[in-house]
Structure 1
Amino acid sequence: MASERSTLHIVMLPWLAFGHIIPYLELAKLLAERGNKISFVSTPRNIQRLPKLHPHLVPNIDLIGLPLPQVENLPEDAESTFDLPYDKVRYLKIAFDELQDSMAAFLQTLSPDWVIHDFASFRLVPIMEKLSIPSVYFSIFTASTVSNFCLQSPVIDGEDYPVEPRWVPFETTIMPRYFEIKRVCIDGGNVSDLYRLAVTVKGASAMFVRSCYELEPEWLQLAEDLVGKPTIPVGLLPTTAYDDEEDDDKKAAWLDIKEWLDKQEKGSVVYVAFGSETKPNQEQVVEIALGLELSQLPFFWVYRNQRGSADAEVTKLPEGFEERTRGRGVICTSWAPQLKILSHDSVGGFLTHSGWSSVVEALKFEKKLIMRPFLRDQGIITRLLVEKEMGYAIARDENGGSFSRDSVADSLRVVMVEEHGKVFAEKVKKMKAKLFEKEKQDNYVNKLLDYLHAASTIHHPSGSHKN
């Protein structure tokens, strides 16, 4: 029984993006609930921006902020990808590399049982080997994403990537497009992201994956075959919120949003949001906006026109758009409680970038998905859901990825109004029962802990590596 085992001290270090930080925190909560001690490491500003922990978790989770070294071209207040335009994220990775020096001193002092870390912290690998601290790579990406962006080679270049990955032994439509591959292979800072990933995986004892056998069993097996190490699904880790975490301003903002949602017909509203990292460019914003207008559907759009103060490209909505859609649509330019919005009965569909956390939240609340991916793994997630009839992708150019207002409007109406949309609703409802059953999620976490305990005895037969 998990509750009868000795507890572990685990350090967790996610990459400095909230699409990574939040799933790591959700896993930390599940591990802490079972009595394990978690040292959760990020930068001071990111730690401050985390949702509050439930009081019963506080004794077992230490939130530790290590100052981010300042590097040239990185704005002083930028500590996550949320604070930066795309072209400056590479400097965040360079700063993160330098953060590994203070991480080394931290680990030497703490001497934990395990480190669970992300793709970006590859410089920790030799440090942990020297300190005899075993590590696990926790992929916040799906197994199909991990398998497609092949882990066999650390030097893949976008130009050399095959149209159909030769290492996938089964028939599938789930593979990256050329323009998606190029985005993965660049902007790694001093080294490519794929190199970071390969070094991290090579140094890890195992790989944890934010996925489950109910969704992609064949891809989980393939990922393990490619890695050549235990590959353990951790479940989908839906975002959880502590009810008393919001301040008065956020509570007031939600009441205003709820008042508008309460006036709409059940299942009629399209929720539009593209996550903390994705910001459509000006041309894309225009097509999305005019597509929403053409659809004639009610919508609530969380519109972000800038990625931090260093972002020079401030996008604008089409002239007259807000006036023409006033009453039918809401443009929200400030904080919006995504979980509460998705849980509202009037919201029927979600126009999304297919970020994995957003998709998981939508599936949990049985919302139909209209998908327009922008970055990295989002295209793979989109095609996974299309293949399983759990979502509908907006039509786009296969070479460059462009799309039109008409394809946006048509896709929205197919899913929200036309008869075919019922297929997605039924499929999502059916899959929800499989994907979010508490017993299954508990089993995934317990098996993960079984591995950590068993592997600890292999790494440290005496029961501890501490001096």
Structure 2
Amino acid sequence: MDKDLHVVLVPYAAFGHLFPFFHLSIALAEAGIRVSFISTPRNIQRLPKPPSELSAFINLVAFPLPVIDGSSLPEGAEATVDVSLEKEVDLRAAYDLLCHPFKKFIANESPNWIGVDVFPHWVIDIAANFRVPVFCFSVVSAATMVFRGPPECLTGEGLKKVRPSPESLTSPPEWVTFPSSVAFRRGAEANGSYYLYYNGHLGERVSKVLNGCKAVAVHTCKEIEGDYLEVLEKIYQKPVIPVGFFPLDQPEQRDYHDEEWLKIFNWLDQQKPKSVVFVGFGSTCKLSKDQVHEIAFGLELSNLPFLWSLIKSEEASEIVDDVDVLPPSFIKNTAGRGLVCIGWAPQVEILANPAIGGSMFHAGWGSVIENLRYGHRLIVLPLVFDQILNARLLVDKGLAVQVEQNEDGSFSRDAIAKCLRQAMASEEGNQIGLKAAEVAAAVNHPTLHQEHYISEFVQYLKNGVRAQN
């Protein structure tokens, strides 16, 4: 019976969700479980190819994204990276219509389990209709989930009582009984997060999924978030199962060994071990021109060697000469000490290079995990909701320094330079380095994640099926 176990996975249409769900697919397939991964054609094309030996266990199911009359979605837009924040509402509306082909798929397949993201709330009713148990797979940190709170506090009277205003987000919730800085600050942080997550429909989606699932799997491990995992199980009153950190993808089979990247890696190979700061904010969080300039001047003032992977913002997308995105004279003033690459970068291979010793980034959970694997000193500059909470968690755990930001979220070149030097050239930075090395040893344990965390989760799934029979 166990070898015929079939799990359907339903991630949201964002890279930070798609990839962890894909990695969970791989881990389950390696344990002998058959997986159907549901998404749209373009998003599936963006994923790495599953290992050939697992092809019989993984079915990548592509449902075309429905077109809504009057929608402002750009042609070919299927993930949050393809749209502005304002247009994400249209993307969610189109994504919700996948409920129709999904219902037919479940009717035909009769899977043993459905693993759902926190946003596709329509999965819950379909699963109940066909009597298929559901687990929620959270791709954010346990600390973020704890801060959100139990489902009854995300909507209605419970929300009004616990989260009546943005001010209520500026301290840890009452169910956190240990010292914690995981909360928002007054101003843009609290206001933006409140109106995005606590004053709209997103809370209702999350609440429905959490209420309707039998268990919650979390992309984390006890070695880093054991205290928050214990709180989660208390407030959810259902099993909360950490699945650990999945093995990193091998560098993508792209032609990044062209002349430019050969020069960059040759330059890295000439730097002292653990001396270079990697700066990267990914493709989802596009920096404004002012933010780019402050980071550039901060790097210049720090006098530290750096490698900066820069994605141009929409306002800079029309600039033909990439160098014009940066302040005048920046390239000249940092020549020999730092490099800037515009556009896509092989981040995993960069982070793995012995010359990299620190990383300045937005504290998105996926990037946190990548950096923790290599024991880098972290300089965090969060821009949106869960990044802010992750940044506070990392500082609390002694793994990061956070760039000082004003109430409106802005930051200065001096704050950038100060944090860079603090992390890379101070006694406090040395302590962060020691703590980071300790965490890296746990994160990279050869058997802990697949043989312990995934095995425990697989056993839970199998026991759940046996209990139904």
Give the TM-score, by structure 1 length: 0.91
SS in 2 for 1:59: coil
Distance apart, 1:162 and its partner CA: 4.4
Distance apart, 1:202 and its partner CA: 0.8
Deviates further, 231-240 or 212-221: 231-240
Q: Does the alignment pair 1:299 with 2:298?
A: no
Q: Which amino acid aligns with 1:220?
A: L
CA gap of 1:372–1:162, structure 2 versus 1, over 3 A, is: closer
Q: Does the alignment pair 1:116 with 2:115?
A: yes
Q: Which amino acid aligns with 1:282?
A: K
SS in 1 for 2:283: coil
Write the distance in 2 (CA, Å) between the matches of 1:438 and 1:128: 36
| Residues 392-445 of structure 1, C-alpha deviations (whole Å, 9 max, x = no match) | 111223x33322110100110111122331111111111222233132212111
Write the distance in 2 (CA, Å) between the matches of 1:51 and 1:107: 25
Contact 2:141 2:220 in 1 (8 A): yes
CA gap of 1:188–1:46, structure 2 versus 1, over 3 A, is: farther
The gaps in structure 2 that reach 5 residues or longer are none
Distance apart, 1:384 and its partner CA: 1.2
**Counterpart in the other structure of 1:371:** 380
Give runs of aligned pairs for residues 35-74 of structure 1, distance below 5 A: 35-71=32-68, 72-74=71-73
**Counterpart in the other structure of 1:25:** 22
Deviates further, 345-354 or 257-266: 257-266
SS in 1 for 2:378: strand
Write the distance in 2 (CA, Å) between the matches of 1:17 and 1:222: 27
Contact 1:85 1:310 in 2 (8 A): no
SS in 2 for 1:75: coil
Q: Does the alignment pair 1:250 with 2:288?
A: no
Give runs of aligned pairs for residues 396-435 of structure 1, distance below 5 A: 396-397=405-406, 399-435=407-443
The gaps in structure 1 that reach 5 residues or longer are 462-467
Write the distance in 1 (CA, Å) between the matches of 2:100 and 2:409: 40
CA gap of 1:76–1:185, structure 2 versus 1, over 3 A, is: farther
Contact 2:121 2:208 in 1 (8 A): yes
Give the TM-score, by structure 2 length: 0.90
Distance apart, 1:138 and its partner CA: 0.4
Write the distance in 1 (CA, Å) between the matches of 2:57 and 2:344: 29
Give runs of aligned pairs for residues 290-439 of structure 1, distance below 5 A: 290-306=297-313, 316-397=325-406, 399-439=407-447
Cα root mean square deviation, aligned:
2.5
Give runs of aligned pairs for residues 97-246 of structure 1, distance below 5 A: 97-151=96-150, 152-155=152-155, 156=159, 159=165, 161-164=168-171, 165-178=173-186, 179-186=188-195, 192-241=201-250, 245-246=252-253
Q: Which amino acid aligns with 1:366?
A: G
Q: Does the alignment pair 1:271 with 2:278?
A: yes
Distance apart, 1:80 and its partner CA: 0.8
**Counterpart in the other structure of 1:93:** 92
CA gap of 1:254–1:9, structure 2 versus 1, over 3 A, is: farther
Distance apart, 1:256 and its partner CA: 3.7
Contact 1:84 1:310 in 2 (8 A): no
Contact 2:37 2:61 in 1 (8 A): yes
Q: Does the alignment pair 1:80 with 2:79?
A: yes
| Residues 22-48 of structure 1, C-alpha deviations (whole Å, 9 max, x = no match) | 111111111101111111111111111
SS in 2 for 1:39: strand
Contact 1:85 1:311 in 2 (8 A): no
Contact 1:211 1:236 in 2 (8 A): yes
| Residues 5-31 of structure 1, C-alpha deviations (whole Å, 9 max, x = no match) | 434111111111111111111111111
| Residues 205-263 of structure 1, C-alpha deviations (whole Å, 9 max, x = no match) | 1100111111121210111111111111111224222x6x503x234364343122122
| Residues 262-319 of structure 1, C-alpha deviations (whole Å, 9 max, x = no match) | 222222211011123212223222211111111111211111113699999x993223
| Number of positions where the alignment pairs a residue of Structure 1 with one of Structure 2 | 452
SS in 1 for 2:98: helix
1:289 to 296, 301, 304: 296
Identity across the alignment (%) = 35
Distance apart, 1:321 and its partner CA: 2.2
Q: Which amino acid aligns with 1:293?
A: E
Q: Which amino acid aligns with 2:439?
A: M
Contact 1:23 1:239 in 2 (8 A): no
Write the distance in 1 (CA, Å) between the matches of 2:12 and 2:144: 17
Write the distance in 1 (CA, Å) between the matches of 2:225 and 2:133: 28
CA gap of 1:361–1:158, structure 2 versus 1, over 3 A, is: farther
Q: Which amino acid aligns with 2:218?
A: V
CA gap of 1:311–1:287, structure 2 versus 1, over 3 A, is: same
Write the distance in 2 (CA, Å) between the matches of 1:158 and 1:311: 43
Contact 2:312 2:343 in 1 (8 A): no
CA gap of 1:188–1:147, structure 2 versus 1, over 3 A, is: closer
